[in-house]
Amino acid sequence: MNSLEELKSIRDKMFDTVDMRNDDSEKTNNSEYKYQVLVCGGTGCTSSGSMTLIEEFEKQIDANGLHDDVKLVKTGCFGLCALGPVVIVYPEGAFYSMVKAEDVHEIVEQHLKGGKVVTRLLYEESVHAGTDEIKSLNEIDFYKKQHRVALRNCGVINPENIEEYIARDGYAALGKVLGEMMPQQVIDTISASGLRGRGGAGFPTGTKWQFAANSKGDIKYVCCNADEGDPGAFMDRSILEGDPHAVLEAMTIAGYAIGACQGYIYIRAEYPIAVERLKIAIKQAREYGMLGKNIFNSDFDFDIDIRLGAGAFVCGEETALMTSIEGHRGEPRPRPPFPAVKGLFGVPTILNNVETYANVPRIILNGAEWFASTGTEKSKGTKVFALGGKIHNTGLVEVPMGTTMREIIEDIGGGIPNGKKFKAAQTGGPSGGCIPAELIDTPIDYDSLTAIGSMMGSGGLIVMDEDNCMVDIAKFFLEFTVDESCGKCTPCRIGTKRLLEILTKITDGNGTMEDLDRLEELANAIKAGSLCGLGQTAPNPVLSTLKYFRHEYEAHIKDKTCPAHVCKGLAKFTIDPEKCRGCSLCAKQCPVGVISGQVKSPFTIDTDKCIKCGACMEKCPFKAISKQ
Amino acid sequence: MAIPFKGTKEQEEQLKAVIAAHKGEKGATIPVLHEAQDIYGYLPIEVQKMIAEGLGVSLAEVYGIVTFYTQFSLNPKGEHPIGVCLGTACYVKGSGDILEKLKSILKIDVGECTDDGKFSLDATRCIGACGLAPVMTIGDDVHGRLTVDQVDGIVKQYS
Amino acid sequence: MSDKVNMKINGIEISVPADYTILEAARENGIDIPTLCYLKDVSKTGACRMCIVEIKGARALQASCVYPVSEGLEVYTNTKKVRDQRRVTLELLLSDHDRKCLSCPRNRKCELQTLADELGVTDIPFEGEMNEYDIDDVSPSIVRDNNKCVLCRRCVNMCKNVQTVSVIDTMERGFKTKVGSAFDMNLADTACVNCGQCIISCPTGALREKDNTKEVWDALADENKVVIVQTAPAVRAALGEEFGYPMGTAVTGKMAAALRRLGFDKVFDTDTGADLTIMEEANELVERIQNGGKLPMITSCSPGWVKFCEHNFPDFLDNLSSCKSPHEMFGAIIKSYYAEKHGIDPKNIFNVSVMPCVAKKFEAGRPEMESEGLRDVDAVISTRELANMIREAGIMFNKLPDEEFDQPFERASGAGVIFGATGGVMEAALRTAADTLGGKSVEEIEYHGVRGVDGIKEATVNMGGTDVKVAVAHGLGNARKLLESIRDGKADYHFIEIMACPGGCVNGGGQPIVNAKDKMDKDVRVERAKAIYSEDKASKIRKSHENPDMIMLYNDYLEKPGSHKAHKLLHTTYTDRGLF
């Protein structure tokens, strides 16, 4: 393919089929298929067995001779991972959740052949209460407040088919850029849109591109950071699994803008499905002439290669990522020189993350103003969050910048399960901080989050309830950074270790109030003195929990208790004399022999000597032993 | 430590082909290590020497890279490698307890392999199945929404 | 280079070259910034964070060793924030450091210790786990003690980037990060060439030479032993630094006096051995040129280079001159000719070499380095170890008179002295070869084209009508480059001098340690070489073959260069050692 006309003819050919999967009222319904069955092929649903569903559907569609009427589509993530595996059947938009292989027969018979939705399998939220009437996806609470830009194709198209992407205006932005725009116009458009990096720090994307464009050099590189290392975040993975071409298209546009002809996608090896889909996408893009020489008959060449990460969180840092692509230990380098001047292999390089790129084609097609009309003054557009932890609707959400934490947690996320109370949310993963319940109305944008001591980060959003100990959470993140510190600079290598040791001392019940001062002092020193972003942000979880949950720290130190009953070292095991029947099983079980008593009368535990292993509690047939 | 190297001629040929394919390519070491680990299952000294020699980098550098990235292993994995996700979503839902349970069932620590070579245990970073938290993987199978009580039964399916 | 930028440090306006770092700009303007991982020309990583400064407008503190200056830059090197931060960083380093300073070989010469003193560390507030490592002391030359390592990586950068030996690197990550060799092998089991450049790069006691002074003290105390010492040319050019003399002061006379007071029975000069080497090597070169032998011929005096060749360039082993190195030759002569002449049972002779080098320790133990079942050299100590012995013996070095070397080898030529600097062996050989090939005594004896610290030097010398193309490389990275260009057919020479250490022996791994700050201010290689070249200039005899002791030795004993006897005593063989 080498012209916009050809692109348009593919779009027209595929349009009706893909348009059927629209949830808005304007859809055309001219598809040659009577039904389209969309099965989520994202990692979450795959883990809960969606591949078996696809096989089962294939088999039964085959057996029933439904090929001409029914199209089976393996899509990317729908977002509601908690309900996986998810199957959506159009034109109705019937949202089947937690579907099992044995349910397929019923869907085929009743719905695809009989024309009647299988109510039993529908996600309850997707049905109007008291009726059988299906809500459109846009009306479901989970989706209602979402605004899908980066995720617009996820869960809609088959990511392994470039033509479905084209049907959704894919590669039209690239065509526009190469046909109508000068590189500087592209950069100006991105700058005007106000797009900021979605990977963490929120650096203006247009400015970054401008720097690289200004740098002289025959060879430049465009890199994509898909090394999503924040534990509990999976935005980038979902985009790559659901809409890989968007990233390829955006990188190619970036290449044109800065004068590069080679791109690298650095992706975690832990994301096998995303890697596979990317490989397929790159192959197809090359076949369709969207990558390679003379794209759209211009004299612009661009190609993309994949580089696999090998398990190092620090490689999400831009200079470390480049060092890793260069084939070394992923250690960061000092800046300046900045990558836009001297980056990968020593030449000007830009690096953006997956989500940032996913916005680019839409900005080009719809214009900078369209993009900037969403969001807040300084944070434009939308942000994708991976909602996890103690929340009903675990999954992927995309909301306009400025949406409050409350809207995300309560309206979209469906609140906290089991009637528990919301305690805090962690954004920005190990580099971020917690947002306590009293700040739940904070609008989510770069600057508001930074102001309260957290950060946007890449979009992990972990919800915690009253059963989570905030000191333990700080310790968890510190354990992570200690593990992931590259070891190059002193403050991060030794400082984070010492920080963790102080935290452990506190959770073991041996902390002093002076430790709190030391914790704060050291945390600030690590922030100020570390070489790269990892070290400079590693103390954030400690500082922000100290700021908002100092009382929990003090309870560990002064009262020697863990208010959430999480910290093992502070647990007290006691035997309820009312329930104890004196069977002596606990005493036999105790590895340190600190439980004593007369058979047939209540036993007691010497709590000073108890090592808090919990073996007694597990064995007690009368549930007489409790942990406090 | 002293596991005798059991590389075959075929594996060596495969590795040599991989090295030849990447030779001269910028930043080839890590891709080659990935492929070498796919061939051998781990990266013992014999394999690292071949890579160092083939790509013209020092053995010390190769070893430095292998020990930097957690995905590279100096020891063979078990027949059924078990990974417990310690990503935040899984952690707040109790995957730490799942890991402890596995350690006590298998009587091995993280990074180790059972004596019979059946199971090895790793604590993994987020595998992205946060919707199913807490999660563990055994080989290619993902087991989600776990409780500590289920662990024993699941492991038994593989032994 | 001529471009300058205007900037401010601590409010003072300065103008510095545009390619400077903040550290360089500060130092040139009299402002000291503490450093640890920075080592000029070797290591510039910004890792240790000791040299951090505040920069107006920058978010975090920045490492001045890597931060480039720019127009209008405003830097603060001495704010409370900066001082506190440096101290915390240092306290953290010390919290994972084996702080047994009293028994550390670097006591009082340790850059970490100096920092602790200068930054006012009075307490280590961070208790916690410390990494514990086994000490690697298997190598005959180098001891590695990771318990004292601060992970500055100066040794790694030296070994990997400058020397391209690459047997140590950074391993593991995070708190477990360490410097080591692959699979925790002992250095002795790797392709380490024992050059010891890692030692003189190390700011602490994590790298040191294998101490052989005890054997020497024991021999000196043994009445049945005739203990004979010889000192390499580069030792006199640096030993004085250990006793407060400015770098580049030759202390030949005081050194001879000190050795005598330590109790050595005879004090000889390895320069004599060097003259002997030239007699043999120049002869070998002339023969190879005249008889179609393997060319280029490459010098073999540097044991670090020889082992490097054996591991990395086995295809060049035939190019190596078969000559033993000067001290080995001299050792063999002492136990044969000298012993015979003076009626000493060679079994009772204990030969000690004082060398600027730790690879000589390995070399002395090579199985080939013996004659008639006796080691040519029995113990090798470095310049540093000699200084320690002098101090331990209570000898006030500065007050010693200047004394001569002992007879019968007191006379050495200026050619022998210049062996200590890069290009020196080449120049010495040319002085003799030119006379041999030309058949007459050549007046022009200073070959400036092969002097100086350029990494690879080339010259073409016309000798008796033949154009002889020569090259000199010092530092093994340069040697690698040179040999690869020959291997690729891009270069072609008759004769090559290679020294393992940058600058040659004056900057050997056994020389007094110069701290990173002094290295910023002066080039050790150049300063020490001055002492050597001035001694050459002052010599009455400046060609090896004109040394009357050489003439005597050949007349009395060896007959002629390359004779059967000379071969037996003075030549050696090499082994392909493989890369792993």
Residues B55 and B100 in one domain: no
What confidence tier does B88 reach under pLDDT thresholds 50, 70, 90? confident
Q: Residues C362-396: pLDDT tens digits?
A: 999 999 999 889 999 999 999 999 999 999 999 99
Residue A167 to residue A8: CA distance in whole angstroms? 9
Rounded to a whole number of angstroms, the distance between the first and last alpha carbons of chain C is 43
Domain's final residue, options B38, B66, B94: B66
Q: Of how many residues is chain C composed? A: 580
Would the CB atoms of C182 and B48 count as touching at under 8 Å? yes
CA angle, residues A583, A585, A587, in degrees to nearest 5? 110
- The tens digit of pLDDT for each residue in A351-376 reads 999 999 999 999 999 999 999 999 99
**Predicted local distance difference test score (pLDDT) of residue C2:** 61
Q: Is the CA virtual torsion C397, C400, C404, C405 positive or negative?
A: negative
A319 and A185 inside one domain: yes
CA distance C269 to C279: 16
Report chain B's mean pLDDT, rounded to a whole number: 91
- From residue A112, alpha-carbon distances to A53, A72, A91, C412, C548 in Å are 15, 11, 11, 104, 110
The two beta strands, C62-63 and C52-55, are: antiparallel
Query: What pLDDT does B127 receive?
Result: 77
**Least confident window among A577-586, B60-69, C337-346:** A577-586
Chain A residue closest in CA terms to B127: A270
Question: Which of A342, A481, A497 to substitute to test the interface with C, most C CBs within 10 Å?
Answer: A497
In a domain, B115, yes or no: yes
Does B87 lie in the same domain as B57?
no
Predicted TM-score of the model (pTM): 0.94
A217 assigned to some structural domain: yes
CA dist., res. A302 & res. A306, Å (int)? 14
> What's the pLDDT band for B35 if we cut at 50, 70, 90?
very high
Contact across the interface for C60 and A530, Cβ inside 8 Å: yes
Q: Identify which of A117-121, A564-568, C263-267 has the greatest average pLDDT.
A: C263-267
Q: Which of A569-578, C377-386, C489-498 is predicted with the least confidence, judged by mean pLDDT?
A: A569-578
Q: pLDDT value at position B1?
A: 43
d(CA A494, CA A485): 9
Residues A215 and A326 in one domain: yes
| A5 in any annotated domain | no
**ipTM of this model?**
0.94
* Total domains, chain B: 2
Look up tokens 């000007």; give the residue.
A348
For residues C7 and C70, the answer to whether their CB atoms sit within 8 Å is yes
Searching chain B, which residue's CA lies closest to the CA of residue C175?
B68
Measured between CB atoms, which of B45, B48, B60 is closest to C167? B60
Which structure tokens are listed for C223?
Answer: 């009445």
What are the residue boundaries of the structural domains of chain C, listed by start?
4-78, 100-112+123-209, 213-570
Q: What mean pLDDT value characterizes chain C? A: 96
Which run of H or E residues covers position B81? strand B80-85
Among the options C363, C427, C527, C535, which is catalytic?
C363
CA of C112, closest CA in chain B: separation in Å?
Answer: 25
How far is residue B93's CA from residue B76's CA, in Å, rounded to a whole number?
30
Tens-place pLDDT, residues C316-351: 999 999 999 999 999 999 999 999 999 999 999 999
Pair of tokens at residue C441:
């005594």
Residue type, B82: I
Across chain A, mean pLDDT equals 93
d(CA C300, CA C287): 17
A534 with A578, same domain: the answer is no
Residue where a domain stops, chosen among A468, A489, A510: A468
Q: Are residues B99 and B59 in the same domain?
A: no
Query: Would you say residue B73 lies in a domain?
Result: no
Residue A113 placed within a domain: yes
DSSP C100: -
B23 located within any domain: yes
Question: Does C66 sit within 8 Å of A488, measured CB to CB?
Answer: no
pLDDT score for A29: 73
| Selection from A306, A356, A275 nearest residue A43 by Cα | A275
User: For A547-574, what is the mean pLDDT?
Assistant: 92
Domain interval for residue A297: 162-372
- Among candidate residues A532, A528, A381, the one with its CA nearest the CA of residue A456: A381
Which residue has tokens 């004196």? A582
Which H helix or E strand runs over C560?
none
Q: Which long-range contacts (CB under 8 A, 24 or more apart) does C428-432 make?
A: C428/C274, C428/C278, C428/C544, C429/C278, C429/C281, C429/C282, C429/C285, C429/C299, C429/C495, C429/C497, C430/C461, C430/C463, C430/C468, C430/C470, C431/C278, C431/C542, C431/C543, C431/C544, C432/C278, C432/C279, C432/C282, C432/C543, C432/C544, C432/C545
Tally of domains within chain A: 5
For residue A344 the two structure tokens come to 């990968």
Q: How many residues does chain B have?
A: 159
CATH fold of C213-570 reads: Rossmann fold (3.40.50)
Mean pLDDT for A534-555 is: 96
Q: How far is CA C566 from CA A122, C283, C303, C495, C559, in A?
A: 98, 12, 20, 21, 8
Report pLDDT digits (tens) over C118-131: 999 999 988 899 99
Looking at the structure, do residues A512 and A458 belong to the same domain, yes or no? no
What the block records as the tokens of B10 is: 């075929």
Does residue B3 surpass a pLDDT of 70?
no
A44 pLDDT tier (thresholds 50, 70, 90):
confident
Tens of pLDDT, residues A159-207: 999 999 999 999 999 999 999 999 999 999 999 999 999 987 899 999 9
Clarify whether residues B86 and B56 are in a common domain.
Answer: no
What would the pLDDT profile of C30-47 be if each residue is shown by its tens digit? 999 999 999 999 999 999
Residue A283 is assigned to a structural domain of this protein: yes
Question: pLDDT tens, B96-117?
Answer: 899 999 999 999 998 888 888 8
> In which order are the strands placed within the sheet that holds A303-308?
A303-308, A262-267, A221-226, A349-353
Q: What is the mean predicted confidence (pLDDT) over A133-152?
A: 90
Interface test mutation site (partner B, options A45, A51, A81, max chain B beta carbons within 10 A): A81
Residues B58 and B101 placed together within one structural domain of the fold: no
Cα–Cα distance, C417 to A253 (Å, whole number): 66
In a domain, A606, yes or no: yes
Statement to judge: residues B115 and B151 lie in one domain:
yes
Cβ-count burial B84-108 (b if 16+ within 10 Å, e if not)? bbbbbbbbbbebbebbebbeeebeb
Tell me, yes or no, whether B54 and B94 share the same domain: no
For the ranges A18-27, A152-161, A281-290, A387-396, the lowest mean pLDDT is seen at A18-27
- Is the domain of A481 the same as that of A580? no
In a domain, B75, yes or no: no
User: A607 and A487 in one domain?
Assistant: no
Q: Which residues contact B104 (CB under 8 A, 6 or more apart)?
A: none
Residue C213: strand, helix, or coil: helix
> Same structural domain for residues B43 and B95?
no
Q: State pLDDT tens for residues C46-56.
A: 999 999 999 99
CB A460 within 8 A of CB A386: yes
C117-C122-C126-C128 Cα dihedral, nearest 10 degrees: 80
Chain B (13-72) residues lying within 8 Å, Cβ to Cβ, of chain C = 45, 48-49, 52-53, 58-64, 67-68
What is the spatial distance between Cα A50 and Cα A81, in angstroms, rounded to a whole number?
12
Which DSSP string do the residues of B127-149 spell out, in sequence order?
-S-GGG-S-EEETTEEE-S--HH
Peptide bond into A85 cis (omega under 30): yes
pLDDT at residue A413 greater than cutoff 90: yes
Give the percent of chain A with pLDDT over 70: 100
CATH assignment at residue B127: 3.40.30.10
Sign of CA dihedral C456, C462, C466, C467: positive
Say if residue B60 is in the same domain as residue B90.
no
- Separation CA B154–CA A56 (nearest Å): 25
Residue in chain C closest to A522 (alpha carbons) equals: C88
Residue A398 sits in the same domain as residue A535: no
Question: Strand pairing partners for A353?
Answer: A225
Is C535 catalytic? The answer is no
Measured CA angle at A198 (ends A383, A288), to 5 deg: 95
Give me the pLDDT at residue B77, please. 87
Q: Judge if A107 and A227 occupy the same domain.
A: no
Is residue A145 in some structural domain? no
Considering only the beta carbons, identify the residue of C50, C60, C63 that sits closest to A536.
C60
- Quick one: pLDDT at residue A25? 66
Is the residue at B21 inside a domain? yes
Of chain A, the end-to-end C-alpha distance in Å amounts to: 69
Strand partners, C459: C470
Query: Any idea of the CA torsion for A481, A484, A488, A493, to the nearest 10 degrees?
Result: 40
Residues on chain C touching B68 (C-beta within 8 angstroms)? 172-173
Judge whether B3 lies within some domain: no
Residues 389-448, chain A, touching B (beta carbon < 8 A): 389-390, 394-395, 426, 429
Q: C4-78: which CATH topology?
A: Ubiquitin-like (UB roll) (3.10.20)
| Distance (Å, whole) CA A257 – CA A177 | 9
Contact B59 C160 (CB under 8 A): no
The token pair that represents C40 in the structure block: 């000029």
Boundaries of domain holding B141: 80-158
Does A217 share its domain with A318?
A: yes
Q: pLDDT confidence of B120, banded at 50, 70, 90?
A: very high
Say whether pLDDT at C144 is over 60: yes
CATH class of C100-112+123-209: alpha beta
The pLDDT > 90 percentage for chain C reads 94
d(CA A354, CA A235): 9
Q: Are residues A219 and A330 in the same domain?
A: yes
DSSP C255-305: HHHHHHHHT-SEEEEHHHHHHHHHHHHHHHHHHHHHHT--SSEE----HHH
Q: Is there a single domain that holds both residue A368 and residue A308?
A: yes
Residue C246 DSSP class: P
Distance, CA of C493 to CA of C480 (rounded, Å): 15
Q: Are residues B106 and B151 in the same domain?
A: yes
Candidate from A88-97, B132-141, C56-65, C361-370 with smallest mean pLDDT: B132-141
Domain match, A315 and A180 both: yes
Q: How confident is the model at residue C158 (pLDDT cuts 50, 70, 90)?
A: very high
Residue B131, in any domain of the structure: yes
Q: What is the pLDDT of residue C85?
A: 96
Percent of chain C at pLDDT > 70 equals 100
Among residues B42, B66, B90, which one ends one of the domains?
B66
Chain A residue numbers touching B28 (CB-CB < 8 A): 327
Average pLDDT over residues A33-49: 91
